Amino acid sequence: MSATDNTHRVRLYATGSCEGFDKLRDSLASHPEVEMVGSSTDVASGAGTLAGGHLEAVLHATRSTSFPADEINAIRSHTRAPILLVASSGSAGLLEQALDADVSDVLLLPQLVENVVFAIRKSTHSGRRHASSNGGGGRHGKIVTVFSPKGGTGKTVMATNLATACAKFEGRKTLLLDLDLQFGDAAIMLGVEPEKTIYDLVVAPGELDSEKLAGYTTKHACGLSVLPAPLRPEDAELVTEAKLGRLLEVARESFDVIVVDTSPFFHGPMLATLDRTDELLLLCSLDVPTLKNLRLALQTLDLLSFPKSRVKIVLNRSNSKVGMKPNEVEGALGMKVRFEVPSDRAVPLAVNRGNPVVIAEESADVSRAIKSMAKEMFRAPKEEAASKKRRIIPAFSKA
Ligand SMILES: Nc1ncnc2c1ncn2[C@@H]1O[C@H](COP(=O)(O)OP(=O)(O)OP(=O)(O)O)[C@@H](O)[C@H]1O
Ligand SMILES: [Mg+2]
């Protein structure tokens, strides 16, 4: 294994032009530490990817010899990712002006490609530090979205139990956000009776901040905070993408992890959530229609430039005897199943009692599987890379 095999590849977008930039861009595109998400000669043509491409850095080349404020502002209107400015010649004061304008670095060409990669890595690292030092309490919570393009696959069971496991067994400050905006039932599954929902939060006047968010969440006995779906389906449309985007940013500042339950659709709020999702748990079951829809969902995610490395396939009811094996799922999806969660009668019993199965039947196989998923979410990247080589949840034999 080479030294770079385990290195995270920086998701980079290249824009603009200057002398020598084409050559540099090509070298970066084939560099093992860089994932070139796209490029465009002007900022406007790259708007879609700049806004939604989960970028970690933007490399912008300019022909201007003075500081190109308009070009940088145009990039900033789409993304908060660190920007590195490249030019073939620069005036005195360019560096100072650029750094004052929140540009991470200025590189005058020609440069060795290794030096440029080093500068890009440095900018993404200080970008992360900056983000966490700005967040209230220094947090930068992880957003874990539970999705499946098919109804009834177990999204709410998984989201509620995973969030409970994070709060109770991993001791993490956890928020469960119910984004099944029309018919969400996360609160019922947890047995909480909320006074307020996400609807009350988005229609409340004034700026949203951590304190305000805390005033709208309901606490479960295990320590988990819950922000339920609106009580009436017609109120769902008031949860706009912009409001949700802000909500997720604020939630990140005050929680270690935000588990998002969803409906089986790629609607606006779901797209806004995907833009901020660190880990997407795609739920699947051993049936052909679900697999067909999951393949389509994977294609849609690809079109949205959602990074594949953030997708984890979860096979629910993995031990069901229905004439299909987990490895056939892997074959059909072209992806490894990362977690298997068995079917267990304890689940519907717990659902009907409004008590998460990870608490009601702590040592049941299904609970152990979900608790392992929660633990896995907080593993250091190196440990995670090592564990990828094997199936994390042992095969369960119960029918
Ligand atoms: N591992 C499991 N073992 C046994 N029953 C399960 C399991 N997972 C889910 N179920 C059952 O399947 C039913 C549907 O689950 P759930 O409500 O979580 O699905 P969903 O994907 O959220 O559905 P919707 O798309 O309607 O929101 C639940 O009543 C639950 O009891
Ligand atoms: Mg559901």
pLDDT tens string 211-236: 899 999 999 999 999 999 999 999 99
Written as six digits, the tokens of 20 are 């020598």
Rg (CA), the chain: 23
Query: What residues have their beta carbon closer than 5 A to ion ligand 2?
Result: 155-156
Q: pLDDT at residue 140 above 90?
A: no
pLDDT of residue 1: 36
144 in the same domain as 127:
no
Is 156 close to ligand 1, i.e. is its CB under 6 Å away? yes
Range of the domain at 289: 136-387
Q: Calculate mean pLDDT across residues 247-255.
A: 91
Is 153 close to ligand 1, i.e. is its CB under 6 Å away? yes
Query: What is the domain count for the chain?
Result: 2
Q: pLDDT at residue 108 above 80?
A: yes
Ligand number, closest to the Cα atom of 158? 1
Task: Let me know: does 221 contact 259? Beta carbons within 8 Å.
Answer: no
Cα dihedral sign, 101-105-111-113? negative
362 DSSP 8-state letter: T
Atom of ligand 1 at shortest range from CA of 180: 27
248 in the same domain as 366:
yes
- The answer to whether position 1 is within a domain reads no
CATH number at residue 107: 3.40.50.2300
What pTM was computed for the model?
0.75
Each residue's pLDDT tens digit, 273-321? 998 899 999 999 999 999 999 999 999 998 888 888 899 999 999 988 8
Q: Report the C-alpha gap between 143 and 161 in whole angstroms.
A: 16
162 in the same domain as 49:
no
Peptide bond into 110 cis (omega under 30): yes
383 in the same domain as 366:
yes
Written as six digits, the tokens of 22 are 């084409």
Q: Report the C-alpha gap between 232 and 246 in whole angstroms.
A: 22
Best residue among 146, 153, 157 to mutate for probing ligand 1, ranked by most atoms within 8 Å of CB: 157
Q: Calculate mean pLDDT across residues 101-122.
A: 92
pLDDT of residue 110: 93
Pairing of strands 225-227, 337-341: unpaired
Domain end: 134, 164, 197, which one? Answer: 134
Please name the residue that has the structure tokens 């968010």.
Answer: 213
pLDDT of residue 390: 39
272 in the same domain as 176:
yes
Q: What is the mean pLDDT of the chain?
A: 88
Atom of ligand 1 at shortest range from CA of 261: 22
Each residue's pLDDT tens digit, 361-399? 999 999 999 999 999 988 765 555 555 543 434 433 333
Residue 10: φ, ψ to 5°: -75, 125
Cα dihedral sign, 78-84-87-88? negative
Is 180 close to ligand 1, i.e. is its CB under 6 Å away? yes
